[in-house]
Structure formats: C-alpha cells, structure tokens
Structure 1
Amino acid sequence: MFTENAVHTGRHQKSNADYLNRQSQFESNVRSYPRKLPLAIAQAKGVWVTDVEGKVYLDCLAGAGTLALGHNHEAIVSSIGRFLASGLPMHTLDLTTPLKDAFSEALLGLLPGGGRDYCLQFCGPSGADAVEAALKLAKTATGRNSVISFSGGYHGMTHGALSVTGNTGPKNAIATLMPGVQFLPYPHEYRCPLGLGGDAGVQALSHYFEQFIEDVESGVSLPAAVILEAVQGEGGVNPAPLTWLRKVREVTRKHGIVLILDEVQAGFCRTGKMFAYQHAGIEPDIIVMSKAIGGGLPLALLGIRRVFDAWQPGNHSGTFRGNQMAMATGIATLQVLQEAELAAQAEKRGAWLKHQLEGLRQRFPAMGQVRGRGLMIGIEIVDERQAPDALQCFPADPGLAAIIQQQCFQYGLLLERGGRQGNVVRLLPPLIIDEEQCHAVIERYTRALIAALAQARPAQGK
C-alpha cells in the first residue's frame, strides 16, 4: 500500500531489485534507463543521488542534461515555494501572467541581438514537441515541404522529430514517417564520413553541402528547413566544426532556408556558452529549447526570428504550454546560470576533465578519442586490437563501452552511452560540479575502466 509518509521520510522496506521488479510489472517494455542503471532513487541533492539501499552515486547523467543546477538546488526549491504561495494557477494554456511576462523577457534577452528580432513560442512540455512545431512552422513560412537533417542527429521520438533523427533503430518498426526528409553527412572528429579527416574533411563537407543546395541537378528541391545540433548529444557528443556551421548558415540565409538549431541538450551554458551555436558566431532562424530551461520541470519553447513567424492563431497548440511552475523554476535557473557565471565554469571544469581523460587515453588505447565542449564530454571506446582504418581510427567497441558503464555504476558513477553503436561514454554532469567532485569523477571512471578491461580483456586490465 502507498504511504506518503514512507516516501517523504525515506524509510524504505524494499531493495533496488524489489522496486525494479515492481516497475517491470507496472510499466511498458519501452523503459530503458533502469536496464542500464538498476537503482531506485530515494533522495538527491546537488550532484549526488542516493538509492533506497543507501548507496550514494555521483550523477553525470543529470536527467540527460536537464538538471543544469543539479538536484534540488536551493534556488529551484525556493522558486517552487514562492510559486505555490502566489496563488497562480498551475497552467494557463497560452494566457499570460506576470510570471510568464517576466520569464519571457528574461529568455528573449538571451537570444541574438537581445531578442530584438525574435519572438517566443511556448510548446508542449517536451523538446520533441518543440521540434514538431519548428518543422511545421518552417514549412508554413516558406511554402516548401522538404527538410534536410544530418547523420547522427537526434531530435526526439515523436513522428516528425523521429523522421529527422539519424538513428534508424526506432524507425525500423514504423512503416511511414514524415516524407521529404533528406539526410546529409555530419562532420565527425574521429570518423570522417568522407574518409578524409581533419580540415580536408571539413572543407569537403562544407563544399558538398553548398553544392547540394545550389546544384540544379542535385535532384532535390529547395528545402523548407535545415535542422541540426551544434553539438550532437545522443549521436556521441560530436561537436560541429565552426567553419562548417558558418557555411551552413551562409548557404541557408542566401536561399531563404530556415535554419533550425536544436539546443535542447546543448543549450543553457552546458558547452561553455549560453547556446552551443554561439561558438560559431551565427544566428539561427529558429532555436529549439527545452531540458535545462525548466529547471527540472517540463518546458519547451522556440525562439523564432520574427520574419518567419507565419502562424495563424491556434495553428500549433498544446494544453501544457502554459506550465507556470516550470516558468518559475525557469526564471530561477536563468538567474543562477548568469549570476554564478556557470558558462565560464562549465568551460573551465570541462577543460580540466578532458585534460585528465586525455591522459587516461594515452594509458588506455581503448579510449579512441576524448571530445566535446564544456561539460558535454564524450569518450569514444574502440577495439584497438583490430586493424585501424585509413585514418588510423579503430573499430567501435560497444560491448566494452557497456561494461564500462556497468562498472561505473558499481563504483558509484551514473552516466550514459551514445554514438553510432552505443560505444561513446558520455559525461553530462550538473554545471554546479566543483573541483573536488570532478576529481571524484576521474577517480571513479578510472577504477571502472580498469575493472572493465580486466573483465573484457584480462591481459590489459592492469
């Protein structure tokens, strides 16, 4: 029987296994994280998570990047208390309130030019719904029907968002997705899709994109939109080369193509700037925002260049687009991000972590590459026992990556994998992580890596 007192006091009679077994009875087979991180969470604070058995974990998953300020940050908790005491309704559809007014002003001021040429669209509670809205709006504004996306991109699991997502796994059982999507190769720091690598690969991909759009014999009509991530998250923490991003912006602007930047995971200081596209100095036409902007509560928005705001009233709606409590936590998040200068801190902490991981890579060649921006870090796990390709890159080793994740869990470090075959170990810690906690990440990861190698490759796990 459910007892609220037991939940709030943390008195638990059951083990992790008990709760996971009950979850398997209650929930659909679609659940995924409990299969890789088999715990039932009792409490969480900052970067730390405690399970029902009392074991404490350092959280480098942070709600897939949602918890920029970590768990139960005092500013977030206080904002919820003030909201509950304010008498405001929980949600208001798209009716405005003084709270929504203040949130809108704060967020708009972060967009290019202080938001002078932009407006906001409040969408349903998930980033996928915001992606759906962006695709619909681009088609509405341009009168065109096709969309260009990129290999390795992830934009969500709803119908249109899945259509522009690179991973074919979730698509295989779906006979008909949104038509008119054309995929192009996305630059990759370790595995150049053209087999060239380095600046030559970036220049060739930039040229290829321009020619694809401008060649009248390319066989593809001018698209309504180009959608991409400035740093691919689920695709393996793969940062776009800045010169390539600038070329994409140049070509799309020249031809009136709506450039959609998906900042759902990379946005709000995670990469060392408020938005990841800012590293390239470009200005998107539509910015997709979710995850961290709600401070842990569901909220998703678009930042739209006003010239493309072609909606008629009610053309895209959703009941929970007026989530007032999420706007309260959103304002609190924005204030802390700026006042604590967490973009600069993310850059500093991320640089230190990558430096330490690069040192480990020299010691353990199964770490093929360390990459990322700020506190969005990926470790490409490879099988260096196999023959490398022409660029001296080794085959992916998703099996070892999975064992590393399992061992990290055993050593009290929560993290996720990504990349083409799930062979990229990903670090997405809260942006508030301090120096001592960063040392703990490296210490726990090192122990887990050694244990994983001892399990998978006994001769190397030393």
Structure 2
Amino acid sequence: MMTDKVRINTFDAHGNNESYLARQAEYESNVRSYPRKLPLAIAKAEGVWITDVEGNQYLDCLAGAGTLALGHNHPDVIDSIQSVITCGLPLHTLDLTTPLKDRFSAYLLSLLPGQGKAYCLQFCGPSGADAVEAALKLAKKHTGRSGVISFSGGYHGMTHGALAVTGNLSPKAAINGLMPEVQFMPYPHLYRCPLGIGGEAGVEAHSDYFENLINDVESGVRKPAAVILEAVQGEGGVNPAPAAWLQRIRKVTAEHGIVLILDEVQAGFARTGKFFAFEHAGIEPDIIVMSKAVGGGLPLAVLGIRKHFDAWEPGHHTGTFRGNQLAMATGLATLQHLTEQRIAEKVAAQGEWLKDRLRELQARYPVIGHVRGLGMMIGIEIVKPQAEPDRLGCHPADGELAALLQKKCFEAGLILERGGRHGSVLRLLPSLLISTQELAIVLDKLEQALLAAGQQPV
C-alpha cells in the first residue's frame, strides 16, 4: 500500500503566530516554558537571525540556550549532515564505533587538558542532565562514598540526581525523595556576595569555608564522593567563579581524593573566550561534563574522564542514543570550525567590547545594576535603584522589570532569556560567530526595550 511521505517545507506554513501557539497549547503539556515568554512560531533561521511564520525577523541571543555555537544552519553543519545521509552510514549505532565516531573522539580528546592524554570519553544519553547523572554515579562508584557537594545558584539538569544538585528550588517543589546526602555551599558572587563581604576578602572567605568544611572532623558532613560546579554559572545568572576560589577547590579535592566534576554544558566550547571555562583558572578537572555545543546543534552528551577514575565495568551505564552519528558529524564540524578559525580569541575580544558598551548603557540607565560574564556569555542584572541598597551597595533585584524588558526586547526583535535570582538577569548567549555590527544591533534593541519599559536615561 502506498502512503504519502511526510514533506517538510517551511513555506507551507499557514496561519499566524497566535494560531500555532494555540495549537501548541492544545497538543503539549503545561511544562512548556519558552513559548510563554517568546510567543512565536519559527519558519526559518540563518546565522543569528530567526524568521517567524508572519515574516517577522528577530536577532537570536538565545541560540538554543547556547547550543548553536555556529548559529542557525551554518554551511559546515549542513554539509556534515548531508554527508552522513548520503554516505550510507547508519544514523544510530548504540556504542558501536564507526570511522566518523573514531574521528570525532580523537578530535574531541585533543581539545581536553594535556591534549586528552590522561582522559577517556564516555558517550551518554543525549542531554547534559544524562551526562551529569553518569558523572555522579561514576564518582560514587570510584570512591565508594555517597555524598556530593554542590553550590547555590548552580544548574545541572532536571533529572532526579541532576535536580538534587541544582540550586533552584522552584522545580524541586513537591518532588520528594531527591538524591540524598547533597550538601550545598555558597558560590562566590561578583555582585551579591552571599557572605556579605565582597571583593577579594569575600573570595578568600569562600575558599576558607570550603576547605574547613572538608577538613573539620566536626563539620557534620561526611567526606563526599564528588564536588560538582560550573566555572561560569549560566542559569544562575551568568556568574563567573573567581580563579583563586576554583584553584583552592581543585587543591582540596585532589588532596582528599574527591572527584571534581566541572559542568561545561553551557560554558564550554569557546563560549567564554577559552575553549573550556575552567581554563580561566588553569585547573584540570577529574570529570568534564559536555553537551549542547559538542553536538553542533544536535543531541549529544559526553564525559571526559581522567583514566584513573574510569571505574566502570562493561554495561554498567548505558543509553540508547549515545551513538548519534549525525550529532557526531555536526559536532566534529563545529569543533573544527571553532579551533581552525580561532573563534575563542574572537569571542574573548568581543566579550570585553560588549561589556564596555553595556557599562556605558548602565551609566545612563540606573536599573542596570551589574554587567558581568565572559566572552559571549553575558549577564545584565536589573535592579530597583530607588530602593535601599544593602551594606555592599547593591540594590534589590527587580525580576518584574526584567520580565517586562524581555517582553519589550522581543517586541523590538531581540530574543534573549532571563536567569538568576528572581529571574532578574537578562542573559546574552548568541552564536559565537555573531559580528560586532550585529552586537551593536543588540545594544540598540536593548535600549529600545528600556525606553519602551518606561526607563529614561539620566
């Protein structure tokens, strides 16, 4: 019996954004989130630009939450997909190897510390949360211990163990029986020091607090299997870790045989101006969690594991889609472009330029309380400048105004996300190939949004 093949053509789109969103609400669970903040139906995209079904264009500073390092539909990525489709390679291989997987593995390993000589790879399920779960299990298996130390403001995923080590309390509401023996500690904050100290003294106090917790026989916290953290917190409000603090954590964990897990899912792969965010501190983790950009826009998650810690036995952690050949092709194309075109250097310079321009905007608009971040991972904290500041001079966060600014940005043709406490931080995560001219458009649209939200320059 002949059946009609499914044909996809973006130009077959009928209706407007509202009609598509109404059907999405009918078809999908209440769990959907982005359409509530960014109410559009996407027809096509290229580079940093998205076009909706009504023909409206938007500059995309979300990029799949940092997944699309090369932007939408980069020619190298499209070519790699077409090559796999036409060469006869299977799309799905479990953990069986192929010449493509062999090339991808060798290239990815070469980018890890010491060109990967001390590391091996573990291909996990397709999301970063899957890789976090594997990393936590492996740390427990290797050490024989069960505890994990994580940090306030951290985000590691929504699966059971990953959620347990995530700081945000909202998704934990009414979810009982999360992974036990997780100890949270304060993460240094460039703007809102949780210890109320600030500056270098605050960083030193955080470092001393961590070391004392591990060494103190009366701390009440058993020696953990692992410490997990982000070198730049993304969802937590684009908060870079001080290098001195990361270095002390690496020193203490190494001395005590605690597995140090660096979650580079969002900050990795040239996003911060270094290939990995932990490189800013000159440290080497025991396990590196990689996803998002590592698959070049397609689902892939990989661990980089120091060989000494590879305590797995065959089949003790599996995943059906760990052999995604298309993602390895797009991932290889992305990694090659990032390295051969020296994109990290470009991103580092652009990040400094952008922060300087944003600070000029901050001088005119007092609701911008703080500008921070590295490379193309930038946070803009929105505050209530008329309210009483705390003893460090920081005004209260204004999540309501940040939400209004996100809305006004969208109406001006700029897509961005919020994060941090109370959703008060506007986050910029564009393609790493964004031009300086396009960044100038971002700045212009952001100022349009400030004015549309009723903010007047001083």
Instruction: Give 1:457's aligned residue.
Output: none
Instruction: Give 1:453's aligned residue.
Output: 454
CA distances 1:134-191 after superposition (whole Å, capped 9, x unpaired) = 0000000000000000000000000000000000100011011000100000000110
Once the two structures are superposed, the pairs formed by residues 433-452 of structure 1 within 5 Å of their partners are 433-452=434-453
Please identify, of 348-357 and 46-55, the stretch whose mean Cα deviation from structure 2 is larger. Answer: 348-357
Stretches of structure 2 lacking an aligned partner (at least 5 in a row): none
Secondary structure of the residue that 2:421 maps to in structure 1?
Answer: coil
Matching residue's letter, 1:24: A
* Separation in structure 2 between the aligned mates of residue 104 and residue 365 of structure 1, nearest angstrom: 48
- CA-atom RMSD, angstroms? 1.1
- Please state how far the C-alpha of 1:372 moved relative to its aligned partner: 0.1
**Residues 1:15 and 2:16 are matched in the alignment:** yes
Instruction: Give 2:403's aligned residue.
Output: 402
Instruction: Give 1:354's aligned residue.
Output: 355
Instruction: Give 1:236's aligned residue.
Output: 237
- Please state how far the C-alpha of 1:13 moved relative to its aligned partner: 2.1
Q: Contact conserved, 1:451 with 1:461, CA < 8 A, in 2?
A: no
Instruction: Give 2:156's aligned residue.
Output: 155
Instruction: Give 1:321's aligned residue.
Output: 322
Instruction: Give 1:169's aligned residue.
Output: 170
Please identify, of 397-406 and 348-357, the stretch whose mean Cα deviation from structure 2 is larger. Answer: 348-357
Instruction: Give 2:427's aligned residue.
Output: 426
* Separation in structure 2 between the aligned mates of residue 95 and residue 314 of structure 1, nearest angstrom: 13
- Please state how far the C-alpha of 1:57 moved relative to its aligned partner: 0.3
Matching residue's letter, 1:305: R
Instruction: Give 1:344's aligned residue.
Output: 345
Once the two structures are superposed, the pairs formed by residues 194-343 of structure 1 within 5 Å of their partners are 194-343=195-344
Cα pair distance change 1:385/1:3, threshold 3 Å: farther
**Residues 1:95 and 2:96 are matched in the alignment:** yes
Equivalenced residues, count: 455
Matching residue's letter, 1:180: E
Cα pair distance change 1:183/1:341, threshold 3 Å: same
Instruction: Give 1:51's aligned residue.
Output: 52
Matching residue's letter, 1:309: D
- Please state how far the C-alpha of 1:461 moved relative to its aligned partner: 6.6
- Please state how far the C-alpha of 1:4 moved relative to its aligned partner: 5.3
Secondary structure of the residue that 2:12 maps to in structure 1?
Answer: coil
Matching residue's letter, 1:174: I
Q: Contact conserved, 1:187 with 1:240, CA < 8 A, in 2?
A: yes
Please identify, of 345-354 and 207-216, the stretch whose mean Cα deviation from structure 2 is larger. Answer: 345-354
* Separation in structure 1 between the aligned mates of residue 96 and residue 453 of structure 2, nearest angstrom: 53
Q: Equivalent pairs: percent with the same residue?
A: 67
Secondary structure of the residue that 2:418 maps to in structure 1?
Answer: strand
Matching residue's letter, 1:8: N
Secondary structure of the residue that 2:381 maps to in structure 1?
Answer: strand
Matching residue's letter, 2:450: L
Cα pair distance change 1:423/1:3, threshold 3 Å: farther
* Separation in structure 2 between the aligned mates of residue 283 and residue 260 of structure 1, nearest angstrom: 10
* Separation in structure 1 between the aligned mates of residue 418 and residue 409 of structure 2, nearest angstrom: 12
Q: Contact conserved, 1:400 with 1:453, CA < 8 A, in 2?
A: no
* Separation in structure 2 between the aligned mates of residue 162 and residue 433 of structure 1, nearest angstrom: 32
Matching residue's letter, 1:265: Q
Matching residue's letter, 1:388: P
Once the two structures are superposed, the pairs formed by residues 48-197 of structure 1 within 5 Å of their partners are 48-197=49-198
- Please state how far the C-alpha of 1:12 moved relative to its aligned partner: 2.3
Secondary structure of the residue that 2:184 maps to in structure 1?
Answer: strand
Please identify, of 243-252 and 11-20, the stretch whose mean Cα deviation from structure 2 is larger. Answer: 11-20
CA distances 1:381-430 after superposition (whole Å, capped 9, x unpaired) = 00011000000000010000000000000000000000011000000000
* Separation in structure 2 between the aligned mates of residue 124 and residue 3 of structure 1, nearest angstrom: 29
* Separation in structure 2 between the aligned mates of residue 220 and residue 276 of structure 1, nearest angstrom: 29
CA distances 1:240-267 after superposition (whole Å, capped 9, x unpaired) = 0000000000000000000000000000
Q: Contact conserved, 1:65 with 1:428, CA < 8 A, in 2?
A: yes
* Separation in structure 1 between the aligned mates of residue 14 and residue 216 of structure 2, nearest angstrom: 67
- Please state how far the C-alpha of 1:453 moved relative to its aligned partner: 2.9
- Please state how far the C-alpha of 1:105 moved relative to its aligned partner: 0.1
CA distances 1:298-324 after superposition (whole Å, capped 9, x unpaired) = 000000000000001111100000001
Stretches of structure 1 lacking an aligned partner (at least 5 in a row): 455-459
Matching residue's letter, 2:289: V
Once the two structures are superposed, the pairs formed by residues 6-45 of structure 1 within 5 Å of their partners are 7-45=8-46
* Separation in structure 2 between the aligned mates of residue 144 and residue 229 of structure 1, nearest angstrom: 22
Cα pair distance change 1:442/1:3, threshold 3 Å: farther
